[in-house]
């Protein structure tokens, strides 16, 4: 993460991630944008992954991105997307939850961007309410009390609290409170897949080849 900025670290395989909806080619340096160095620095990457693409491969215009990014001859370009799996209960993974069209979800998260996640949920359930915090936020006792209050105020009888795997670790710290108040907190697991699926195998082989050469 942010490895490009650590010039003192000798790297052998540089992987650059750029979001489908917010590619670096249309971004600007801080504070106007999110870039920490000039766009031209992408030339140092060995692999460029356009992440968080639509799940439908027909909706991904790969040729347009090829023309926009203009990869160098030494670079490989991949396209990835999030594939969400069945949510499981925070304190016992044996209990799973099927997302239903009549369900009201209260989403609690502390990740950089939630658009991709909320869009997915909006397509699966009746309504999504959100409690969003800054990236890397550590949930306080006050935050968890608010979570309880917000959940109890939801009008629906069919309701659940949903969080990400990243945030689940932070919620674990409040196990006693969450269980005492019988809050149904479920975790939404996710895995990264590639368009097309064969590219996932190509990416794995590329990384394995580098690791083997590094080891020798």
Say yes or no: 47 and 110 in one domain.
no
How far is C-alpha 80 from the geometric centre of its chain's CA atoms? Answer: 11
One DSSP character per residue, 96-132 reads E----TT-EEEEEE-SS--HHHHHHHHTTSSEEEEEE
Q: What is the CATH number of the domain that holds 101?
A: 3.40.50
Enter the DSSP assignment of 2: -
Structure tokens at 110: 């502390």
Omega within 30 of 0 (cis) for the link into 195:
no
Range of the domain at 123: 86-188
pLDDT digits (tens, 9 = 90+) for 12-45: 789 999 999 999 999 999 999 988 888 999 999 9
Residues 6+ apart with CB under 8 A from 49: 15, 16, 17, 18, 77, 78, 79, 80, 203
Say yes or no: 168 and 205 in one domain.
no
Q: What is the total residue count of the chain?
A: 216
Say yes or no: 165 and 76 in one domain.
no
Burial class (CB in 10 A: 0-12, 13-18, 19+), 60: middle
pLDDT at 3 over 80: no
Residues 6+ apart with CB under 8 A from 127: 104, 105, 156
Say yes or no: 180 and 93 in one domain.
yes
The model's pTM is 0.86
Say yes or no: 19 and 62 in one domain.
yes
pLDDT digits (tens, 9 = 90+) for 163-187: 999 999 999 999 999 999 999 999 9
């Amino acid at each position: 993460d942010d490895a490009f900025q650590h010039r003192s670290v000798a790297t052998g395989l540089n992987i650059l991630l750029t979001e489908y909806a917010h590619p670096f080619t249309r971004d600007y340096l801080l504070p106007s944008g999110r870039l920490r160095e000039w766009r031209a620095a992408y030339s140092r990457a060995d692999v460029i992954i356009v992440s968080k693409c639509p799940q439908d491969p027909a909706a991904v215009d790969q040729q347009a991105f090829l023309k926009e990014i203009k990869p160098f001859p030494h670079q490989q370009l991949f396209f990835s997307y999030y594939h969400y799996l069945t949510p499981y209960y925070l304190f016992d993974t044996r209990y799973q939850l099927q997302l239903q069209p009549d369900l009201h979800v209260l989403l609690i998260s502390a990740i950089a961007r939630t658009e991709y996640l909320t869009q997915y949920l909006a397509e699966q359930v009746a309504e999504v309410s959100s409690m969003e915090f800054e990236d890397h936020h550590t949930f306080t006792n006050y935050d968890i009390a608010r979570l309880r209050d917000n959940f109890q105020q939801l009008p629906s009888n069919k309701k659940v609290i949903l969080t990400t795997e990243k945030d689940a670790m932070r919620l674990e710290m409040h196990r006693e409170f969450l269980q005492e108040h019988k809050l149904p907190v479920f975790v939404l697991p996710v895995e990264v897949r590639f368009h097309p699926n064969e590219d996932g195998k190509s990416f794995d082989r590329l990384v394995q080849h580098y690791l083997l050469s590094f080891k020798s």
